[in-house]
């Protein structure tokens, strides 16, 4: 596929976003082609999570342009945005598992949004723990299992553009490795993924490109190939 | 002695059935929409009045009223949600409370103006006249019907909410409506239908009440205060809690009427005060 001619999966131009009076994004520009994996990097408060929330219409007010599969979403109701383009799936930072629903209910809750959802057999092959814990209440799951469930339910719904916010946060290394394998599998299958990630060592080998955010805008873009040469300035930028 | 006690307990059970139906609707609405629906008593009155008007002006009987009245009042609920309540979303829930309180005053005022203070009797449907002699007491058929149907409707609602896919949407929406909407669920329509359903439940209770209590413009406002106490005791937004507490409070009231009649109308609020001191989230509520 030639990314220059195809409609990008996601195209953000001069995005400003507000929560009430506070102005959190100041002109974000970014573009993600179908099948790409990108990360949003930056310190806390740089606007990474707000960028994801803006795409879904979960901030107070947005100006500028956010196109999903070529369709403008600024001004659109959130439940319509999810169904646009190749279908958007969102893993919020706090995972968003519904406490009053069982694991299975959480998994099956989301309406179909993409052309085809991932069949349950494949979901359970990818996340075997979830099958064992089917009947458990959603929030009785371990942190890692909750994260798997948060991923699994958007895959089942058929989303092909995945917005993943800090999926490795607070998880044991072995589980982080497992999630890394899952993201790689999804990439191989052509999913489009936007990762917000504090754990740079997790994100670096997975992504095609890295968007660097500071003070609510994208200040730099690093291609995967340039990464090795720019590690020093990147480390300084992230303050690690 | 035993006759007096069982008589009061039966009365308590019947009142409790109405408390359960009404607090269930309030709990569902509060849970999802975060609206304290102060119009609930007026909507209960509307249900009873529509049944009475249907019978007096159009000759529509009890059974049709039991179906039509909740549908009509539920439809007005859809309009109220769409036109008024939706605009108040995201504001402090005091605004929703004030709005619905105002609506209740307007509705009750209009009916008071048109029909006056005095009550209108509504006949018990023919099929449910008479009663059973249980030996220790006489049980009118209609009162048994009220208890059975209220319990069936309450438990049916509970089942749908806790055990079905439709209910899973409602529970998820109650927890985090914004996230649910970001997953592609049309949450605004869900809000509208839920308000309509809660209000229809109130109207249904109103039709059930018509043959027992007098149909008057103020019949809801006297009942709704107790129902709010029930919701607070059971825990705001808890479905099962509101059903169990509704019945329980009715029984406690009945028992108090037998032991110390003067305290019967106060006991509910005393109970509420104690629960608030010991378990501020209510007996079945979760701390938010």
- Residue by residue, DSSP assigns chain B as -HHHHHHHHHHHHHHHHHHHHHHHHHHHHHHHH----TTHHHHHHHHHHHHHHIIIII---HHHHHHHHHHHHHHHHHHHHHHTGGGGTTS-HHHHHHHHHHHHHHHHHHHHHHH-SS-B--PPPGGG-SEEE-SSSEEEHHHHHHHHHHHHHHHHHHHHHHHSHHHHHHHHHHH-HHHHHHTT--HHHHHHHHHHHHHHHHHHHHHHHTTTS-B-TTHHHHHHHHHHHHHHHH-TT-HHHHHHHHHHHHHHHHHHHHH-GGGTTTHHHHHHHHHHHH-TT-SSPPP-
For testing contact with chain A, the best of B181, B182, B286, B288 (most A CBs within 10 A)? B182
Q: What is the pLDDT of residues A144-194, one digit of tens each?
A: 999 999 999 999 999 999 999 999 999 999 999 999 999 999 999 999 999
Distance between CA atoms of residues A48 and A219, nearest Å: 12
Nearest residue, CB atoms, A111 vs list B174, B184, B188: B184
Instruction: Check whether B2 has a pLDDT greater than 90.
Output: no
> A9 near A86, Cβ under 8 Å?
yes
- Residue B22: alpha-carbon gap to chain centroid: 1
pLDDT of residue A3: 46
User: For residues A166-194, b (16+ Cβ closer than 10 Å) or e, as one string?
Assistant: bbbbebeeebbebbbebbeebbeeebbbb
The number of beta carbons lying within 10 Å of the beta carbon of residue A7 is: 14
pLDDT of residue B263: 87
Strand order in the sheet with A161-165: A88-91, A161-165, A192-196, A37-41, A209-214, A217-223
Q: Does the beta-carbon distance from B175 to A98 stay under 8 Å?
A: yes
- The model's confidence at residue B287, banded by pLDDT at 50, 70 and 90, is low
Residues of B in contact with A96 (CB under 8 A): 176, 179
- Residue B229 phi/psi, 5-degree rounding, is -60, -40
Q: Does the beta-carbon distance from B175 to A105 stay under 8 Å?
A: no
- The model's confidence at residue B149, banded by pLDDT at 50, 70 and 90, is very high
Q: Does the beta-carbon distance from A78 to B181 stay under 8 Å?
A: yes
Q: Does the beta-carbon distance from B171 to A111 stay under 8 Å?
A: no
Q: Does the beta-carbon distance from A79 to B182 stay under 8 Å?
A: yes
Q: Does the beta-carbon distance from A109 to B168 stay under 8 Å?
A: yes
Average pLDDT along chain B: 91
Q: Where are the domains of chain A?
A: 1-85+206-240
pLDDT of residue A240: 62
> A116 near A191, Cβ under 8 Å?
no
CATH-assigned architecture of domain A1-85+206-240 = 3-Layer(aba) Sandwich (3.40)
User: For residues B48-74, b (16+ Cβ closer than 10 Å) or e, as one string?
Assistant: bbbbbbbbeeeebebeebbebbbebbb
3-state SS string for chain A: CCCCCCCCCEEEEEEEEEECCEEEEEEEEEEECCCCEEEEECCCCCCHHHHHHHHHCCCCEEEEEEEECCEECCCCCHHHHCCCCCCEEEECCCCCCCCCCEHHHHHHHCCCCCCCCCCHHHHHHHCHHHHHCCCCEHHHCCHHHHHHHHHHHHHHHCCCEEEEECCCCCCCHHHHHHHHHHHHHHHHCCCEEEEECCCHHHHCCCCCEEEEEECCEEEEEEEHHHCHHHHHHHHHHHCC
Q: Is residue A45 left, alpha or beta, with left meaning phi > 0 and alpha meaning psi from -120 to 50?
A: left
User: Where does residue A199 rank: exposed (0-12), middle (13-18), buried (19+ CB within 10 A)?
Assistant: middle
Nearest residue, CB atoms, A79 vs list B165, B176, B187: B187
Domains of chain B by start residue, with CATH: 2-278 (1.10.3470)
pLDDT of residue A235: 82
Q: What are the residue ranges in chain A where pLDDT is below 70?
A: 1-5, 240
Distance between CA atoms of residues B281 and B277, nearest Å: 10
- The model's confidence at residue B105, banded by pLDDT at 50, 70 and 90, is very high
Instruction: Check whether B174 has a pLDDT greater than 60.
Output: yes
Residue in A with minimal Cα distance to B186 = A79
- The model's confidence at residue B204, banded by pLDDT at 50, 70 and 90, is very high
Distance between CA atoms of residues A190 and A207, nearest Å: 13
For testing contact with chain A, the best of B32, B177, B183 (most A CBs within 10 A)? B183
Of chain B, the percentage scoring pLDDT greater than 90 comes to 73
Q: Does the beta-carbon distance from A90 to B171 stay under 8 Å?
A: no
Instruction: Check whether B72 has a pLDDT greater than 60.
Output: yes
Which residues make Cβ contacts (< 8 Å) with residue B243, sequence separation at least 6?
B20, B23, B24, B154, B155, B158
The closest of B19, B16, B8 to B256, measured between CA atoms, is B8
Distance between CA atoms of residues A153 and A168, nearest Å: 17
Range scoring the smallest mean pLDDT among A20-29, A211-220, B213-222, B234-243: B234-243
Query: A110 in contact with B at a CB cutoff of 8 Å?
Result: yes
Instruction: Check whether B267 has a pLDDT greater than 80.
Output: yes
- The model's confidence at residue B4, banded by pLDDT at 50, 70 and 90, is confident
CA within 13 Å, CB half, B177: 16
Model-level pTM?
Answer: 0.89
């Amino acid at each position: 596929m030639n990314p220059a001619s195809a409609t990008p999966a996601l195209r953000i131009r001069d995005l400003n976003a507000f929560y009430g009076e506070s102005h959190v994004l100041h002109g974000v520009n970014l573009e993600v082609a179908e099948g790409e994996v990108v990360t949003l990097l930056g310190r806390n408060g740089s606007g990474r999570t707000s960028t994801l929330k803006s795409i879904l219409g979960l901030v107070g007010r947005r100006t500028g342009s956010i196109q999903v599969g070529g369709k403008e979403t600024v001004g659109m109701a959130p439940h319509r945005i999810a169904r646009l383009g190749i279908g958007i799936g969102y893993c919020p930072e706090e995972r968003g598992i519904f406490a009053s629903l069982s694991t299975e209910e959480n998994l099956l809750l989301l309406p179909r949004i993409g052309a085809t959802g991932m069949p349950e057999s494949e979901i359970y092959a990818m996340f075997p723990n979830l099958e064992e814990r089917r009947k458990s209440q959603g929030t009785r799951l371990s942190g890692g299992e909750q994260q798997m469930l948060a991923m699994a339910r958007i895959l089942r719904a058929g989303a092909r553009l995945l917005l993943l916010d800090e999926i490795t946060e607070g998880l044991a290394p072995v589980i982080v490795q497992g999630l890394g394998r899952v993201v790689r599998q999804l990439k191989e299958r052509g999913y489009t993924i936007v990762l917000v990630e504090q754990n740079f060592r997790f994100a670096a080998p997975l992504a095609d490109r890295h968007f660097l955010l500071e003070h609510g805008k994208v200040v730099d873009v690093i291609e995967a190939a340039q990464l090795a040469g720019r590690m020093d300035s990147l480390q300084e930028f992230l303050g690690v | 002695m035993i006759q007096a006690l069982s008589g009061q307990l039966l009365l308590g059970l019947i009142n409790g059935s109405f408390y359960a139906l009404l607090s269930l609707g309030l709990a569902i609405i509060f849970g999802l929409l975060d609206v304290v629906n102060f119009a609930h008593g007026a909507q209960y009155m509307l249900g009873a009045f529509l049944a009475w008007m249907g019978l007096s002006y159009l000759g529509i009987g009890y059974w049709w009223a039991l179906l039509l009245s909740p549908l009509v009042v539920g439809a007005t609920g859809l309009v109220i949600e769409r036109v008024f309540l939706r605009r108040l979303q995201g504001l402090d829930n005091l605004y929703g409370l004030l709005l619905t309180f105002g609506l209740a005053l307007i509705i009750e005022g209009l009916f008071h103006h048109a029909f006056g203070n005095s009550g209108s009797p509504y006949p018990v449907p023919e099929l449910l006249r008479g009663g059973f002699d249980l030996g220790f007491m006489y049980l009118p058929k209609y009162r048994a019907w009220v208890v059975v149907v209220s319990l069936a409707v309450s438990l049916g609602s509970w089942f749908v909410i806790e055990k079905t896919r439709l209910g899973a949407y409602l529970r998820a929406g109650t927890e985090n409506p914004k996230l649910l909407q970001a997953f592609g669920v049309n949450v605004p329509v869900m809000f509208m239908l839920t308000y309509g359903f809660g209000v229809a439940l109130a109207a249904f209770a109103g039709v059930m009440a018509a043959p027992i209590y007098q149909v008057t413009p103020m019949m809801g406002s006297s009942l709704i205060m107790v129902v709010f106490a029930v919701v607070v005791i059971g825990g705001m937004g808890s479905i099962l809690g509101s059903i169990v507490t509704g019945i329980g409070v009715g029984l406690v009231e009945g028992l108090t009427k037998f032991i110390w009649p003067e305290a019967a109308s106060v006991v509910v609020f005393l109970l509420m005060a104690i629960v608030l001191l010991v378990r501020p989230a209510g007996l079945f509520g979760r701390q938010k």
